Structure 1
Amino acid sequence: MAVRLRRRAKDPEGRMPVLDHLRELRRRLIIVVVLIALGAVLGWYLYPHTLEFLRHPYCEVPAKYRFTSAIGGKCDLYYHGVLDGFTTRLKVSVISGAVFTGPLWLYQIWAFITPGLRRNERRYTIMFIVTSTLLFAGGVALAYVVLSKGLRFLLSSAGSGTQAQLTVSDYISFVVLLLVVFGAAFEVPLLVALANLAGVLSARVLKKSQRLAIFLIFVFAAVATPSTDPFTMCAMAIPMVVLFEAAVLFAVVHDRRKARRQAAERAEEHLDDDVASQVDPLPVRLESRGDAAARADSPVGSAWSDST
C-alpha cells in the first residue's frame, strides 16, 4: 500500500506554528552563516588591500600625535602577541565577508519577515535590499570620512609631548566598530518603515513620539560611537534624524493609502438599500437527488446527459 506524503499547504497570510517558525529561522540563520563564511574566504585574500584602506585615516593624523617608524617614518601599526596577527586577519576577513555578501543575507532576513506581510507588500523585496544596502554603505562612508578627524581629536587630547603607539588589533577593533555602528544606525529608519508596513507602528504613534525619538537618537549616538568627541556624535545623530523624519513621512503616506483602501472595501461590503440587487429574472427549478437519480436510470435521461 503506497503512502502519499502531502506537503503542507502554505498559508497565504504567512501564519505557521511556533515550531515551524523556529525551523524557518534556523534555516535562514544557517544560510546566512554559510554566505558570510564564503565571503570571508574572499576577504582573507583581499586582506592586504583592506588593511591599507583601514589604516589610511590613521596615517592622515599629524605625525606629532602618532608614533612613526624609524625606518622611513611610516605610520605602522604594531602587535605584540604571537597570535595577534592571525586573529586580526581572521577578524577582518569575517567582517569583510559580511560586507561583501550583505545583499544576500539581507534577502534572507527579508524572506523570513515577508510571510507576515500581505502579497501586495511583498513586492518591496528588491526595494528593501537596495535601500538597506545603500543606507549601510552610506553610514560606513560617513564614518570613514569623519574617522581621521575623530582620531586626531582623541590622540591630541593626551597633550603635547605624547604619542600614540597603537596595536593593529586595538586599532582595527576601534575602526570596525565605528564603521559597523554607523552602518547599523542608518538602518534604524528602514526598520521603522518595515514596522509600519507590518502594522506594528502607526504614523499617529510616530508623530506623537517624534521629540522623544530625536532625543533618544542623540543619546544613542553619544553612547554607541566608540569615540567621545562631539563631532563624531553629531555626524551620526544629524543624518539619523533626517532619515527618521523620512521614515515618519513614509508612514504617514502609507497609512493614508491604507485607510482609503479599507474605506473602499467597507463601502463595497455594505450595499445601499436603494440600489437594486443583481437577480436572474428567469427562475430555475432546483431538482432533488431523487429526480436526478431517476433521470439517470431512464434511457432518455442517460442519453440526454450524455449529449449534454
Structure 2
Amino acid sequence: MPLREHLLELRKRVGRAAIGLVLGAVAGWLLYPTVFEILQAPVVRLQEDRGLLIGLNFGGVLAGFDMQIKVSLFVGVLVSSPWWVYQLWAFITPGLTRRERLVTVGFLAAAVPLFLTGAFLAWFLLPQAVGVLTGFTPQDAFNLISAQEYLSFVMRMVLAFGAGFLLPVIMVALTMVGLVEGRSWLHGWRVAVMLSFVFGAVATPTGDAVSMLVLAIPITILYFAAVAIGLVLDRRRARRLAAEDEEDGGGVIAEQRA
C-alpha cells in the first residue's frame, strides 16, 4: 500500500476511534451521578460504620465540573475500548498474515478479561485500603479528602492491578515472537516470584500482608501458566526447525545425487 493510502487509512481509523471516544464520554457524562456514587461508596460506608468526620471535598468553584469531565472521559475510554482497539487492529491487519491476525485477536481476547479481573480485584480491595489509610486520622479531627486526589488514588490502584494481570499476555507475546524462550522464563522463576510480591506490596497502598498476598499470589500463578505456554511454544518451534532442517538436508542430498 502506498504511503498516501496509509496516511488516509490512518486518518480514517483515528477519526473513527475519536468518534467512539466522544460517544463514550457522552455516556460517561450521563452516567456520572451513578459512577460518582459508586466511587465515593467506600468513604460513605466509613462515615456510617465508624462515625468518622470524613468526606470528599471539592475545593473550588470549578472543582465539581472538572471532576465530572475527568470521570466522563475515563468512563468513555473504558466503554469505547473495544471500538478503538478494533480500529487499531484494523489499521495493522492489512500488513499481517491470516495466522498473525488470529494471534492478535487471541491476545486481545485474553488481555481484556485479565485486565478487568485485576481491576475488579482492585475495586474489591478499595474499601479496605481507604479504611486503613484513613484510620490514621487523629480523634476528633476532620478528614476532608480532595476529590481530585481520591480519583487519582482509585485510578492508580485500578491500573496497577490491571497491569499486573496483563503480565502473562506480555510473556507469551515475547515468547511467540522469539525474543524470550520459555526456558528463560522458567530459569528466572525465583526472581519473578520475588518481584511479584514486591509489586504486590508496592501496588497495594494499605501495606498489609493480606492485600499483598491477594495480588501477588494470582500474579505468580499467572506467571507459571505463561511459563507452561512458553515451554509448549519452545517445543513446537524446535519441531518446526527440525522439520525444516530435514527438508533442507533432503534437498541437498537430492541435488548431489542428480
- TM-score w.r.t. structure 1 length? 0.70
* Residue 246 of structure 1, CA deviation: 1.2
Instruction: State whether residues 35 and 105 of structure 1, in contact with CA within 8 Å, keep that contact through their aligned partners in structure 2.
Output: yes
* Residue 114 of structure 1, CA deviation: 6.3
Paired residue for 2:178, among 199, 206, 231? 199
Mapped to 1, the partners of 2:8 and 2:210 lie a distance apart of 45
Paired residue for 2:247, among 257, 261, 268? 268
Instruction: State whether residues 136 and 183 of structure 1, in contact with CA within 8 Å, keep that contact through their aligned partners in structure 2.
Output: yes
Judged with a 3 Å threshold, the aligned counterparts in structure 2 of structure 1 residues 105 and 273 are, in CA distance, closer, same or farther, namely: closer
Mapped to 2, the partners of 1:202 and 1:176 lie a distance apart of 34
Instruction: State whether residues 118 and 161 of structure 2, in contact with CA within 8 Å, keep that contact through their aligned partners in structure 1.
Output: yes
Judged with a 3 Å threshold, the aligned counterparts in structure 2 of structure 1 residues 66 and 178 are, in CA distance, closer, same or farther, namely: farther
Identity of aligned residues (%): 37
Mapped to 2, the partners of 1:181 and 1:32 lie a distance apart of 25
Mapped to 2, the partners of 1:126 and 1:102 lie a distance apart of 14
- Could you tell me which residue of structure 1 aligns to residue 162 of structure 2? 183
Judged with a 3 Å threshold, the aligned counterparts in structure 2 of structure 1 residues 113 and 202 are, in CA distance, closer, same or farther, namely: farther
Paired residue for 2:222, among 243, 255, 260? 243
Which structure 2 residues correspond to residues 1-308 of structure 1 after superposition, within 5 A?
A: 7-8=1-2, 32-61=17-46, 63=48, 64=50, 66-67=52-53, 77-108=56-87, 110=89, 119-271=98-250
Structure 1 residue ranges, 4+ long, deviating more than 6 angstroms after superposition: 20-30, 112-117, 272-277
One-letter amino acid matched to 1:154: L
One-letter amino acid matched to 1:178: M
Determine helix, strand or coil for the equivalent of 2:144. coil
After TM superposition, the structure 1 stretch with the greater mean CA deviation from structure 2, 163-172 or 237-246, is 163-172
* Residue 265 of structure 1, CA deviation: 2.2
Instruction: State whether residues 137 and 143 of structure 2, in contact with CA within 8 Å, keep that contact through their aligned partners in structure 1.
Output: no
Instruction: State whether residues 136 and 187 of structure 1, in contact with CA within 8 Å, keep that contact through their aligned partners in structure 2.
Output: yes
For structure 2, which runs of at least 5 residues remain unmatched after alignment? none
One-letter amino acid matched to 2:31: L
For structure 1, which runs of at least 5 residues remain unmatched after alignment? 1-6, 9-16, 69-75, 280-308
Judged with a 3 Å threshold, the aligned counterparts in structure 2 of structure 1 residues 108 and 202 are, in CA distance, closer, same or farther, namely: farther
* Residue 166 of structure 1, CA deviation: 1.9
One-letter amino acid matched to 1:155: T
Mapped to 2, the partners of 1:115 and 1:85 lie a distance apart of 45
Larger radius of gyration: 1
One-letter amino acid matched to 1:51: F
- Could you tell me which residue of structure 2 aligns to residue 300 of structure 1? none
Determine helix, strand or coil for the equivalent of 1:165. strand
* Residue 206 of structure 1, CA deviation: 0.8
Judged with a 3 Å threshold, the aligned counterparts in structure 2 of structure 1 residues 271 and 158 are, in CA distance, closer, same or farther, namely: same
The structure with the largest helix share of the pair is 2
Instruction: Give deviations 1:112-157, integer Å, cap 9, x for gaps.
Output: 7768876423312332222111111111111111111111111113
Mapped to 1, the partners of 2:7 and 2:196 lie a distance apart of 32
Determine helix, strand or coil for the equivalent of 2:145. coil
Mapped to 1, the partners of 2:9 and 2:202 lie a distance apart of 34
Mapped to 1, the partners of 2:99 and 2:169 lie a distance apart of 18
* Residue 93 of structure 1, CA deviation: 0.9
After TM superposition, the structure 1 stretch with the greater mean CA deviation from structure 2, 114-123 or 165-174, is 114-123
Superposition CA RMSD, Å: 3.4
Mapped to 1, the partners of 2:205 and 2:91 lie a distance apart of 32
